[in-house]
Each structure stands twice: as C-alpha cells, then as structure tokens.
Amino acid sequence: MKKEIKFSLVYRDMFQSSGKFQPRVDQLVRIAPVIIDMGCFDRVETNGGAFEQVNLMYGENPNTAVRAFTKPFNEVGIKTHMLDRGLNALRMYPCPVDVRKLMYKVKHAQGVDITRIFDGLNDANNIIPSIKYAKEGGMTPQATLCITYSPVHTVEYYTKLADKLIEAGAEEICLKDMAGIGRPWSLGQLTKNIKERHPEIIIQYHGHSGPGLSVASMLEVAEAGADVLDVAIEPLSWGKVHPDVITIQAMLKDAGFQVKDINMKAYMEARALTQEFIEDFLGYFMDPTNKHMSSLLLKCGLPGGMMGSMMADMKGMMPVINMSLKAQGKPEMTLDEVVVRLFDEVEYVWPKVGYPPLVTPFSQYVKNIALMNILAEAQGKPRYSLLTDKSIWGMILGKSGQLPGEVAPEIKELAKEQGLEFFTGDVQSLYPDNMDVFRKEMEENGWETGPDDEELFEFAMHPEQYRPFKSGVAKQRFEADVQKAKDARMAKLGFKPEDILKMKRAKAEPITASVNGQIFWEIDVVNASMAPAIGTNYKEGDHFCYITTLWGEQAEVKSNFTGKIIEVCAQQGATVNKGDVLAYIERAQD
C-alpha cells in the first residue's frame, strides 16, 4: 500500500473561479458541518484573496464570516487555509509592511491555520517577508510556486525557487497551477526534486481543470511524493475550476494510495446546498462559459478563472474594433476570430514583457496589452501605441517585483520614449507603513478597531470597500446589482420590461438612505438608481467618481470644469468603456 494522500476542499476558490461573489456567512455556516460529514477532507480553504473584498461589497463583515466559517473545522481538527498574495496581501496592489504583519495575527486569531503565500511574478523577495510575518503571527507559512509553461519556467527554475523559500522558513510548498497548463511529467519531476531535497516538507498541488491536464498532473505528483491535493465538489467542479474529489479519490485508490472514503449522502447534501446558494443569487454573476473546458487554453496560458471577464471584455470591444476596421475598408471580424487573434497576441506579447506568470493581476495585464494591440491594429496603429496604463507599466518597470524573463528591446525603447525608468530596488520601499492614518480615521468616525484589531486591519487592507460597507452604501449597491441581474435573466427568458416593472411595483416601496444622519439620495426600489443628484455643483478638478477595473484597480474621475450636473448617463455599478459619457455638466457662466 502506498502513502496516504489527503484532500483539501477549496471552497473559496470554487466560487472565486466561477463568478463574482462568495456565499454569505449564513450559507457558509450551513455548509461547514456538511463538509465535515463528508469525512474525506483534512483541509478546507476558507478565505483569502477576494473573499473579504467580496464580503464588504455586499455589506457583510468579513471578519464575522471568517470566524464563523473556520470555527466548525477548528473544532474537529480539519486544517483551514487562506490565499495570500504576498506583497499584495489580500488585494490587487501592494501593501505596507505594518498591514501585512497585522494580517497574520488577525487571521490566526480568527481560526485560520495555514496561509498560502504566492507572488504573481514568483519573486522570492516578495514572498520571504510574509513567511517570517506568518510565523510571528502563529500561522503555518505555505510558500507557493506559480506554475506556468515557458522556456523560462523550467523544472530547474522551480526547484531552485523552492529551495530558496524553504531555506527562508517555509514549512510547506504549494504548486499553484492556476491555469492548469503545467505539464504532468514536469510537475512530477519538480515534486520529486523537492521531496528528495526536503523530505519533511509538505507539498500541496492546486490545479485548475480548464485545459484538461490537472487529473493526470494529480496522479504524477502523487506518485512523486505529494501529500495534499486540492479538489472541488459538484456543481462547481470541472470546467475552469478544479477536478471533483470523487474522480480523484477513485483514481488514487486504484493506484494503491491510501485515501479516505467519501460519505456520499453528505456529498449530495453539500452539492444540493451549493446549488441552492447559486440559485439564491450567486449564479446571477457566474459566466456559463466557466463550465467549459478548452485545449485552446494551453496555447495562451491564461487562467480559466478570468475567461469570463475576458469574454465580457471582448464583447465590449467588438463594436469598437469592427467600427475601426470598417473605417479603413477592411472586413469586420467575428467574436470567434477576435478570440483566436487574442490568444495569438497573448502568446506573442507574453515573452516581450518578461514572462510574468499568468496569474492575478498579471494575467489581466498581459491580456489587456494583447487586447489593446488588436485594437491598435484595427485602427492602423503600431503595437503598444495604446499602452498607457500605469499598473501595466508598473509590472514592466519592476515596481511589482522582478520579472522572470528579460523585457524586449522594443518595450524598453518605448519606456524610454515615454520618460519611464526601470526600478531595481526593494519594491516594499515604495509602499511605506500607513496604519496610523487608518487608525486616526477610525477614531474620528467613532469606529471600533475590533477584537485583535481586526476591523482596523480590514479598513487598512480594503479602504475603498470598507467605507461603503460602514455607510451602508455597499449593501444598497449589491442589492441593486442583484436586481439588475435578475431583470436581465427575466428579459432573457422572454419577459418584457413592462411586465418586469409591474411585478416589481406590486411589492415596491420608496426608501431613504442616510450616512451619519445625512440624507444624500432617495432610492425607489423599482429602479434602485443611485446616481448623484441632478443639480449638484462641481468645481474644476473636483472628485466626481471612481471607475474600478476588472482587476480591482480604482481610477479617479474628476470634473472637467466648473458647473452643475444636468444629466447622469451611467448609473452606479454600470459597465463602461473608455470614452463613454458618464454625465453632463452645464458650464458655469463667468
């Protein structure tokens, strides 16, 4: 009989890779005991990247959610783990040291055992400090290798990286095959190398199913000495998510490994509960293409979890691309043609910008460069002529960490032309401590910092989401989003707008929202409009609103000149493209 292979249910990532939202705390509390009853899991991924932002977005306290979800697993000895983005901690952009340090103390106090620390560039300098901070906070640091497939990302490259992270104190290693494009044989060799050098180190494999290799990869890494495999359950297994525990358990059992039995009654109950959560509201924000698998993903290397957002981007860009082609007398393109063209362009661009592993947020950056190049081509402009995004340039210039490969000469020349300089210093030095700023604001607002300073941490980590959460605006936005999604579903089923309106009016009542006792808008739940009031005065340069990108970055929009709002064209939560009109301001008379 071969060694025992343990399973981890990545319940957070099942939803993260499927759609926009996570289950509510009441749903998590219901599913936890059923997961325990399945009897086959030694670990459960309970929280981490995106989980807490999402909680805030629909008006729920993430600290309450984490404590409630981890508690049942803690009580029965099932290890809980979270996803941690290293330098970025739980968000999409870099985080000061004081906030990073506090995170581990807070999460340990909330019942999280293991932190899976990854860096989107595989820069050890961004991971190693978090290994130290995690240990100081009482957590088990699981250092992560972001797996991809390129001339740079060889078995030798990953073996040396693992050696460095283990030498720095990592107690476990995760092979994070986020796009599922890691080749099974190579993953097996990597696992073997790590185990031969560090037999005491636990190795956990995480592989998405998109291109179809992950099942074979799981068998290979198990044969080579892996200890834990990440799996999912129906109705969210497979597609762009993860293999199902039933399949993997049967495969390993046949191969002679020791694996725990699955309580199928509990499995079916967990399956039904998860489906109930999807039907409640989560499913309104899940792209159906995420249930599809495609070998085309091997060509571009993009992670399956972002395919839904990519298709949304493509649909939004199609009219612009075809309008540009038509203006030049060129034939228009179909969506399928543009998708294939995008995959080709990603394949071309990726080595030019230094082979960043295609994981959040760098997968979005590379995809966006490719998309902008396609648009530039349609407009008769050269490649990279539309490359102006500061975050993308930050990656290229080294402000997120060291790229695995060399940036192409033409990109370096373009940076020089734009007066941009490459950065080779300590990335963390660009983001100084700022906890005191948030502590002061909490005191001024009369907000409690919470047990173990967990509320202070949440505010400092996610300030853009925390303020609307505290004001109640987040919950209103979320309810408006859900209503909008439900209306779209009804329309797709053939209901006319007037029929939908009648149904809503039958139970509608006007409500007034307030923040700190000040009424700032009125909302009729019939349309859930949350636009600024018509007639509001602005001075030139005044803050008007924020636009949030698909990868979480916020861009501030300012008033062009002094005047008052006479029309709002884009409601709160609307999807807009570059150049879209947001509102009209009537210029003030001199």
Produce one character per residue of 549-578: b if its CB has 16 or more CB atoms within 10 Å, e if not: ebbbbeeeeebeebbebeebeeebeeeeee
Decide which of 340 and 10 is more confident: 10
At 395 the pLDDT is: 95
Secondary structure class of 481 (helix, strand, coil) = helix
Q: How far apart are CA 116 and CA 230, in angstroms?
A: 12
Amino acid at 533: A
Question: In the predicted model, what is the mean pLDDT of residues 497-516?
Answer: 45
For residue 5 the two structure tokens come to 């292979």
Cβ 171 vs Cβ 202: under 8 Å: yes
Cβ 176 vs Cβ 359: under 8 Å: yes
SS3 content of the chain, % helix, strand, coil (to 5): 50, 15, 35
At 516 the pLDDT is: 31
Q: How far apart are CA 423 and CA 414, in angstroms?
A: 16
What pLDDT digit, counting tens, does each position of 2-19 carry?
999 999 999 999 999 888
For residue 299 the two structure tokens come to 């060509």
Amino acid at 214: S
- Please say if the pLDDT value at position 196 is more than 50: yes
| Most confident region among 153-162, 317-326, 566-575 by mean pLDDT | 153-162
Give me the DSSP letters along 81-121. Answer: EEEE-GGGTTSSS---HHHHHHHHHHHHHTT--EEEE--TT
H or E element in which residue 586 lies? strand 583-587
Just give the CATH number of 6-289. Answer: 3.20.20.70
Rounded to the nearest 10 degrees, the angle between the axes of helix 62-76 and helix 25-38 is 20
Residue 116: count other Cβ atoms within 10 Å of its Cβ: 23
What pLDDT digit, counting tens, does each position of 355-365 carry?
999 888 898 89
Spans of all domains in the chain: 6-289, 296-428, 473-587
For residue 453 the two structure tokens come to 């300073």
Contacts 24+ apart (CB under 8 A), 490-498: none
Instruction: Please tell us whether the domain made up of 473-587 is placed in CATH 2.40.50.100.
Output: yes
- Please say if the pLDDT value at position 528 is more than 60: no
At 225 the pLDDT is: 98
Number of helices (H), then strands (E), in the chain: 22, 15
Name 118's Cβ contacts closer than 8 Å, sequence gap at least 6. Answer: 83, 84, 85, 86, 127, 144, 146, 174, 176, 359
| Most confident region among 47-51, 147-151, 259-263 by mean pLDDT | 259-263
What pLDDT digit, counting tens, does each position of 421-436 carry?
999 999 999 999 999 9
What pLDDT digit, counting tens, does each position of 250-265 carry?
999 999 999 999 999 9
At 287 the pLDDT is: 79
H or E element in which residue 271 lies? helix 264-280
**pTM for the complete prediction?**
0.82
Confidence of residue 50 (pLDDT cuts 50, 70, 90): confident
At 519 the pLDDT is: 28
Q: How far apart are CA 483 and CA 281, in angstroms?
A: 10
At 580 the pLDDT is: 64
At 554 the pLDDT is: 57
User: In the block, which residue shows the tokens 């994981």?
Assistant: 359
Name the H helices within 328-462. 335-352, 362-378, 390-397, 409-417, 435-445, 454-461
**Torsion angles phi and psi, residue 561, rounded to 5:** -160, 175
Residues found in the chain: 590
Q: How far apart are CA 128 and CA 359, in angstroms?
A: 19
Cβ 358 vs Cβ 366: under 8 Å: yes
At 79 the pLDDT is: 98
Cα separation values, 526 from 176, 469, 507, 582, Å: 45, 22, 9, 22
Cα separation values, 46 from 7, 66, 82, 247, 427, Å: 14, 7, 6, 22, 29
Cβ 280 vs Cβ 55: under 8 Å: no
pLDDT averaged over the chain? Answer: 87
Secondary structure class of 442 (helix, strand, coil) = helix
Q: How far apart are CA 114 and CA 45, in angstroms?
A: 9
Cβ 103 vs Cβ 49: under 8 Å: no
Of the candidates 534, 531, 563, the one whose C-alpha atom is nearest the C-alpha of residue 545 is: 531
Q: How far apart are CA 143 and CA 123, in angstroms?
A: 11
- The residues with which 7 forms a beta bridge, in sequence order, are 41, 229
At 170 the pLDDT is: 98
DSSP strands (E only) in 234-310: none
Are domains 6-289 and 473-587 of this chain identical in fold?
A: no
Say which DSSP state 452 is in: G
**Torsion angles phi and psi, residue 244, rounded to 5:** -80, 145
H or E element in which residue 538 lies? strand 537-538
At 307 the pLDDT is: 62
